[in-house]
Amino acid sequence: MNTSRDRTALITGASRGIGRATAEAFAAAGYNLILTCYSSMAELETLADKLISQYKITCRTVQADAGDPESAVRLFEEIDHLDVLVNNAGISHIGLLTDMTAKQWRRVMAVNLDACFYTCRAAIPLMLKKQSGRIINVSSVWGAQGASMEVAYSASKGGVNAFTKALAKELAPSNIQVNAIACGVIDTSMNGCLSASELSDLKAEIPADRLGSPEEAAQLILQIAQAPGYMTGQIITMDGGWY
């Protein structure tokens, strides 16, 4: 019987925020790791060295553009087995839709939604060989509620939710579970554009009276990776009671 020490997880966008915390959580649980990021390779390599030393796992780092299909092909050329795929890489865009360029729209969709297609298309054959696997997509409450000034981001995350539910049905007969977490406001650099006053007002709207931590999101992702196999096609919200 396999233990987590025999298992490999691929986590995209792992140099900071939820991705970094997820890498640490999976390493602590004994998973071997493949970690990607777009530009912060120094940070990612430092993280990998730390996880290898502390948890005695294997950890490979790869520079990859989540929104580029050829980058995904190159990434999977060196992966011969995979147990868990965490699609975490993502970007935001704040502004009026009428001020957004087609290039900006396309980039948000490519990184947040298209990337799930690219990685899943490559990962599924590896999981089918073993008739087992877990795919976990990182979504947002805006994927269901929608946010003013974040139309592209909301649309991309709504797409992730639909993608998750549909793919779960497609892969359920093969014992591959597909789920997503829909995060509320998590204390990451993605919210760095908010002023102290704006953050204070935002916290006042959240019943938990605080932002979520990347570590809490990571623990939820790990729990989903280890959940009973009958749980699939779910969008699990973690937002402090906000929505």
Catalytic site positions: 153
DSSP-assigned letters across all residues of 148-209 = TT-HHHHHHHHHHHHHHHHHHHHHGGGTEEEEEEEE--BSSGGGTTS-HHHHHHHHHHSTTS
Asked if 140 contacts 182 with a C-beta cutoff of 8 angstroms, the reply is yes
- How many residues are present in the chain? 243
Within 10 angstroms of residue 243's Cβ, the number of other Cβ atoms is 13
Q: How far lies 133's CA from each of 168, 220, 236, in Å? A: 11, 17, 18
Asked if 86 contacts 136 with a C-beta cutoff of 8 angstroms, the reply is yes
Q: Which helix (H) or strand (E) holds 136?
A: strand 133-140
- Identify the bridge partners of residue 37 per DSSP, sorted by sequence position: 63
- Identify the bridge partners of residue 84 per DSSP, sorted by sequence position: 9, 134
Question: Given strand 84-87, what is the order of strands in its sheet?
Answer: 59-63, 32-37, 8-11, 84-87, 133-140, 176-183, 235-238
The tokens of 16 are what? 């900071």
